[in-house]
């Protein structure tokens, strides 16, 4: 309960002091203040600055103690050497938590920065004030219209995905990149150097947070390896924990040291970590978002036997190769399914084997529907991937064929809910000419249709296969644990 109350003040503060904002709009603190106002933060905002009485239309206070109200959370954006004093002032005012934006601490690799960070940590501990940062962007929580990252354009809608990030830039990019895929967040935390609250603290909170169903994270190094491992292991059994571990080799490790002062840890240690915890390992932000899509849209565990439905032999081959390279399987269909398919497919140029080749690019909507439904009943198949590269082909011939294409593309949207197996859509990326921008617009509209219908959609089979494999592997791990528990 204590923990819960503490974090509530961080994610749902009723009042927020911004220390370091000024009438100079190029300053970081001022930028954040502006963002908060534009984003419609629901609590009260108190700018603090000794040299002015008003900032961006808000009454400004010379010091924290002049604020005639309690304050839940402080945002500190003053130069590094001034941070310890300001943090002390926050504690004196009775503020329970502070986000320290400022850089120039342990990540500099210099003695001075290290000392300063230790001092901040000591004040935090002695005065009992929780610190997020330094060298971070802090919190984005749409439910309270709170965004400390530069998020005036982030979604105002809440969702069930949380994202924990050592990197501020990544917290920002995830919020923006995920929007188009209709991924919405419960909470996003950029915690930087983690001199006080760290990845494990937030993970423990998110494990119990009812708003959060899926947890993504970007980790460079952890403060307490054993505690983190144990926590991930436990939390991952309740909610999938997807981890992008940054800094695996020489250059990457050099980068994390200068980024958040983290020690990356040896490669083998992390490999063992993922094996033990069963957390989902991803290699980059794209794969993280791609994987979240599967967890979000596919409600129940599924196996790795995939049926591919596409058009054209080359595309069928590449799709099967991509699935098999990722570690999925593309098994033969049952004799019964193949027989049924043969009756539905063109006599020449098609293939009723898995991968299924529809033959010509203009399948009729009714056959397409029957084909998908037939395959979904094959007991040897766990999930269906449909591959559509034809958008540009039809788009340039739109006076003749576009309406047919639109009818075909609506079929999976219409039948997805009644299928007994998960369906994943590949709608290949459009050509990159400026002249094809309107085709890109059509691509985006179709993407929205599928996303709204609960169908994960990707630009390539490779990306889909990687994401699906992550999902399958997660559930295989869960099953193994349960089995071990029963028999062990």
Question: Site residues for its own copies, window 390-409 (CB under 8 A)?
Answer: 392-393, 396
Q: Which residues pair with 55 in a beta bridge?
A: 58
We find the least distance from the C-beta atom of residue 431 to its own copies, in angstroms, to be: 5
Task: For residue 483, count other CB atoms closer than 10 A to its CB.
Answer: 10
Short-list 392, 389, 320, 309, CA closest to 352: 309
We find the least distance from the C-beta atom of residue 128 to its own copies, in angstroms, to be: 29
Q: b/e map of 280-303 (b: 16 or more CB within 10 Å)?
A: bbbeebebbbbbbbbbbbbeeebe
CA–CA gap between residue 131 and residue 213 (Å, rounded): 25
Interface with its own copies includes 23 (CB under 8 A)? Answer: no
What are the φ and ψ backbone dihedral angles of 276, each rounded to 5 degrees?
-75, -40
- Among the listed residues 42, 127, 254, 480, the single contact to its own copies using CB under 8 A: 254
443 and 427 Cβ atoms separated by less than 8 Å = yes
| Tokens read off for 438 | 């309107």
Interface with its own copies includes 288 (CB under 8 A)? Answer: no
Interface with its own copies includes 222 (CB under 8 A)? Answer: no
C-beta of 34 vs 478, nearer to its own copies: 34
Pattern 298-327, binding to its own copies, x per CB under 8 A?
----------x--xxxxxxxx-xxxxxx--
Q: How many residues bind its own copies (CB under 8 A)?
A: 85
Q: b/e map of 226-258 (b: 16 or more CB within 10 Å)?
A: ebbbebbbebbbebbbbbbbbbbeeeebeebbe
Interface with its own copies includes 258 (CB under 8 A)? Answer: yes
Show contacts with its own copies in window 73-102 (CB under 8 A).
Answer: 80
Pattern 142-171, binding to its own copies, x per CB under 8 A?
--------x--x-----------xxxxxx-
CA–CA gap between residue 34 and residue 76 (Å, rounded): 15
C-beta of 311 vs 340, nearer to its own copies: 311
C-beta of 97 vs 320, nearer to its own copies: 320
- Among the listed residues 441, 452, 479, 480, the single contact to its own copies using CB under 8 A: 441
Interface with its own copies includes 181 (CB under 8 A)? Answer: yes
Pattern 343-372, binding to its own copies, x per CB under 8 A?
-----xx-x-xxx-x---------------
Task: For residue 25, count other CB atoms closer than 10 A to its CB.
Answer: 12
Interface with its own copies includes 35 (CB under 8 A)? Answer: no
């Amino acid at each position: 309960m204590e923990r819960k109350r503490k974090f509530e003040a961080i994610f749902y503060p009723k009042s927020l002091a911004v220390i370091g904002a000024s009438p100079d709009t190029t300053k970081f603190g001022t930028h954040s203040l502006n963002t908060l106002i534009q984003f419609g933060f629901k609590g009260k905002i108190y700018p603090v600055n000794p040299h002015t009485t008003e900032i961006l239309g808000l009454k400004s206070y010379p010091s924290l103690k002049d604020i005639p109200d309690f304050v839940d959370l402080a945002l500190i954006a003053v130069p590094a050497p001034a941070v310890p004093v300001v943090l002390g002032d926050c504690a004196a005012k009775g503020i329970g938590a502070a986000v320290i934006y400022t850089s120039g601490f342990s990540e500099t690799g210099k003695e001075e920065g290290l000392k300063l960070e230790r001092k901040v940590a000591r004040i935090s501990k002695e005065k009992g004030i929780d610190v997020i940062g330094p060298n971070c962007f802090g919190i984005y929580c749409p439910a309270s219209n709170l965004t400390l990252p530069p998020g005036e354009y982030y979604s105002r809608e809440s969702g069930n995905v949380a994202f924990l990030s050592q990197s501020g830039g990544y917290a920002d990019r995830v919020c923006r990149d995920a929007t188009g895929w209709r991924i919405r967040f419960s909470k996003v935390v950029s915690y930087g150097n983690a001199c006080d609250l760290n990845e494990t603290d937030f993970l423990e909170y998110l494990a119990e947070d009812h708003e959060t169903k899926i947890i993504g994270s970007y980790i460079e190094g952890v403060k307490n390896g054993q505690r983190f491992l144990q926590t991930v292991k436990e939390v991952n059994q309740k909610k999938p924990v997807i981890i992008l571990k940054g800094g695996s080799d020489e250059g990457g490790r050099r980068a994390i040291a200068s980024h958040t002062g983290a020690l990356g840890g040896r490669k083998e240690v992390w490999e063992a970590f993922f094996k033990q915890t069963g957390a989902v390992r991803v290699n980059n932000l794209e794969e993280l978002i791609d994987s979240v899509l599967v967890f979000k849209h596919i409600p129940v565990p599924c196996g790795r036997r995939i049926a591919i439905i596409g058009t054209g032999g080359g595309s069928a081959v590449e799709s099967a190769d991509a699935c098999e390279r990722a570690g999925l399987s593309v098994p033969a269909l049952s004799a019964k399914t193949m027989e049924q398919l043969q009756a539905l497919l063109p006599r020449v140029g098609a293939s009723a084997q898995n991968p299924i080749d529809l033959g010509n690019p203009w399948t009729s909507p009714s056959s397409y529907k029957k084909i998908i439904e037939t395959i979904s009943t094959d007991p040897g198949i766990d999930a269906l991937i449909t591959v559509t590269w034809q958008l540009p082909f039809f788009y340039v011939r739109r006076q003749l064929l576009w309406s047919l294409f639109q009818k075909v593309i609506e079929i999976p949207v219409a039948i997805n809910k009644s299928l007994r197996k998960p369906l994943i859509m590949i709608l290949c990326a459009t050509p990159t000419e400026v002249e094809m921008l309107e085709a890109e617009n059509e691509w985006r509209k179709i993407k929205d249709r599928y996303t709204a219908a609960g169908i994960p959609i990707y630009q390539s089979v490779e990306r889909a296969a990687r994401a699906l494999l992550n999902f399958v592997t997660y559930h295989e791990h869960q099953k193994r644990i349960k089995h071990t528990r029963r028999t062990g």
